[in-house]
Chain A
Amino acid sequence: MKHLMKWLCLLLASVMTFALAGCGGGSAPKEATKENGKTVVTFWHVYTKNFGAPVIKQMVDDFNKSQDKILVKEVYNPDMYPGLMKNLQADVASGKAPSIAMIGYNYLDYFNENFQYVSPEELAKKDTKDPDYLSKTFLPNVLGLAKTGDTQVGLPFSISAPLLFYNPDLFTAAGLDPQAAPKTWQEVQDYAKKIHDATGEYGFYMQEYQDNWATQGLLTSNGAVILDENKKAAFASKESEEAYQLYADMVLKDQSALHIAADEGIASFYSGKVGMLLGTSAKIGTITQSSSFNVMACPFPAFGDKKVEIPAGGNFLAVTAQSEEEQQAAWEFIKFIMQPKYLAAWTINTGYLPPRQDVVNEPSVQEAIAKTPALKVAFDELPSLTPWVAFPGDVGVKAEKMFADMRDRILSGEAPATALKETQDELNQLLK
């Protein structure tokens, strides 16, 4: 009996932990936090010691040493953008908010609708020293990545592009020339089949996270539209069907492509069991270091002579500070780290593309490109980048999962037309 009561309680407790995060409330502080007379700026990011964080620490240290009015503190949030979003939800609900938050592009709309922030346009306008900072510093299409409608929500900080990594050893073993990388999806299919037939290993793998990032590039490069001007899902088209059919044929008919969860698929590429890996430029460093062979890369393949349109991944910086003093301090810090010198260090450490074009001219970046040619491939893809489609409102996060579910259904044998249509209908139902 005693045991039973205990476990009954435990059960209740477990069920109810869901509720706890929602508790609490209160208003945000309008006064900036001070420490030893310095305005404190908290900077939330998602990078670990192995990936990015050392550069962020360097930026913060250098900034804190460069002046004596502002003290920046960096805060690591585990579990990437969803993790940071969860913490942000909880902190805002309890009346606290960081000064600067790093937001994934796919959360753009959701962030815009649910959180209070100051637009960089407004901050630049108030900055009498440099009111034209935005237009002078960034390309319009890059600014567009962190824009919803006419609103500039934040400033793009990290940009990643999908690209094709390949294993030259498997190419050679299959009688393919490693210098002649596939340029079209038809070639990818052909190469994959040749690799599979000749070596028994898989020819192709496309990263399968629980999102629509890589697959969006596949669909839009064949001319499909994900979200139309009326903000309705419009991807159940002939173009999407064709693109998915090709991918599904590789997995199901040719059995030359691998259909498996992302970490497993990428690990299989590392160990030389997969010929081509469609992955993100943000992992260029990890992939070249972890693989047992000399990794080569080429741009995202095209469908025939259609224009390649690939989504930008990565994040932008949004100012969520509440008091004006803190906002200005945050703006100073953002301008500081957006200097080519720091963005170059960021690019070299992470493989992310920088939001400023002139970073390419930094000697350190030139050196890195010479050493890791894949980085050059990613830089060359900049003109093909389009925003990662963010579905409006609360639907955004759900849409990513629905796209992942759709992909899994198609790759396990369901007809692309049916899966596309059903998912589109379901999404449009949610958008009503």
Chain B
Amino acid sequence: MKSADDQSAYRRRERRLAFLFVLPSLAVFILFMFYPLLYTLYLSFFKWNMVSPKMKFVALDNYVNLLTDPVTVTIAENTLLYIVILVLFNFLLPYVLAFVNTFLMKKGKYIYKTLLFSSSLIALVVGAILFQWIFNPVSGPVGAIADAVGVALPAWSKTPGLVILVISLVAVYKAFGYNFLILLSGMNSVPEELIEAAKLEKAPNSNIFTKIVVPLTSSTAVYILIMTIVQGLQYVFTPIKVLTQGGPNDASSNIIYQGYDYAFTFYETGMSAALAIITMLIFLVLLYLEFRFVEKGVYYEN
């Protein structure tokens, strides 16, 4: 009996100790994650402009307004287009280039590594202004070249679709290098013997990539894919703010910028909070799908 008592006392102490160890990170988590989340949820039920002492309870009005507003549809389409472009340029392209750099290139690997990473060192605002100058259809260098060959460039800042492409390019040059480096480190963990063996068997490079490298680097790839989508949407925020403020007619806004616009341009905190909650729900669903279907096929080294 006594020993059983001892054991349970020991277990209790262990549990308390464990709780104490978790406490610091738990406190941070509650303060910076759960409290703001709950507060956002709370705000989404009110009409409030951040300074007025009156907060008007409107129940689900903000959500209804958002879901019935045609602008929200535009924003969702834009967000999707941003994601497609970013996945293409910030995930697929560096993935293939990392493969080429690691396994196919014989000379000058380091030079290319450095060159491909260097653009990440320039700040986003600087990059945005640089791109604005480069792509100015009337007085920029690209415009001058197009002029010389007799092509009139459209004003990208006022052309739906094109405006998203140019803004995405700013985010591409910022994130491309980081993604490339991380994918490169993922490639380095692929056993060299496997590749050598495949080469001896005269397997085509495309097969080496799809059959050996992709399965073995899938954990890094999934990480970069998610990062590209989640972080990319934030990376495009700066160029949107600097270059177009969401215009023309909302053609370059995305879900993150729109949330900011609602809160800090129009002072509609309720709408902003509701959009943030909807965004979070969408991403939760996406993550669930990822866990359910993609994660199963992912290879983890340890």
Contact = CB atoms under 8 A, between A and B. Distances in A.
Contacts of A67: none
B299 interface: no
A81 to B, nearest CB: 12
Nearest to B286: A11
A267 B133 contact: yes
Given A12-B33, A19-B36, A19-B40, A89 B50 contact: yes
Given A264-B136, A397-B267, A12 B227 contact: no
A29 interface: no
Contacts of B287: 4, 8, 11
Interface stretch (B93-101, B112-120, B189-197, B268-276): B268-276
B283 A260 contact: no
Contacts of A16: 32-33, 36-37, 40, 276
Interface stretch (A37-45, A353-361, A408-416): A408-416
A10 interface: yes
Given A3-B223, A4-B287, A18 B49 contact: no
Contact of A4 (B33, B49, B260, B291): B291
Interface string B247-268: 1111000001001100111111
B158 A259 contact: yes
A404 B155 contact: no
A273 B250 contact: no
B248 A405 contact: yes
A268 B135 CA distance: 12
A246 interface: no
A14 interface: yes
Interface in B229-255: 230-231, 234, 243-245, 247-250
A16 B256 CA distance: 11
Contacts of B291: 4
A274 B280 contact: no
Contact of A18 (B231, B266, B276): B276
A344 interface: no
B127 interface: no
Which of A13, A264, A268, A412 counts the most chain B CB atoms within 10 A?
Answer: A264
Contacts of B137: 260, 264
Interface residues of B, number: 57
B272 to A, nearest CB: 5
B226 A7 contact: yes
B223 to A, nearest CB: 5
Interface string A81-119: 010001001101100000000000000000000110000
Contacts of A258: 138, 155
Contacts, number: 149
Contacts of A115: 51
Contact of A267 (B139, B248, B283): B139
A18 B263 contact: yes
Contacts of B264: 21, 82, 86
A116 to B, nearest CB: 10
A210 interface: yes
Contacts of A306: none
Given A16-B36, A394-B268, A411-B158, A271 B139 contact: yes
B267 A394 contact: yes
Interface of B: 29, 32-33, 36-37, 39-40, 43, 48-52, 132-133, 136-139, 155, 157-158, 219, 222-223, 226-227, 230-231, 234, 243-245, 247-250, 256, 259-260, 263-269, 272-273, 276, 279-280, 283, 287, 290-291, 295
11 contacts: A4-B223, A13-B33, A15-B279, A16-B33, A264-B137, A264-B155, A267-B136, A394-B268, A401-B266, A405-B247, A405-B249
Given A7-B227, A7-B230, A264-B132, 12 more contacts: A11-B283, A16-B276, A19-B43, A19-B276, A90-B50, A92-B51, A93-B50, A261-B158, A263-B132, A397-B265, A409-B249, A411-B158
- List the 10 closest pairs (A to B, CB-CB), nearest first: A408-B248, A16-B36, A261-B157, A268-B138, A19-B40, A260-B155, A271-B139, A19-B36, A268-B139, A405-B249
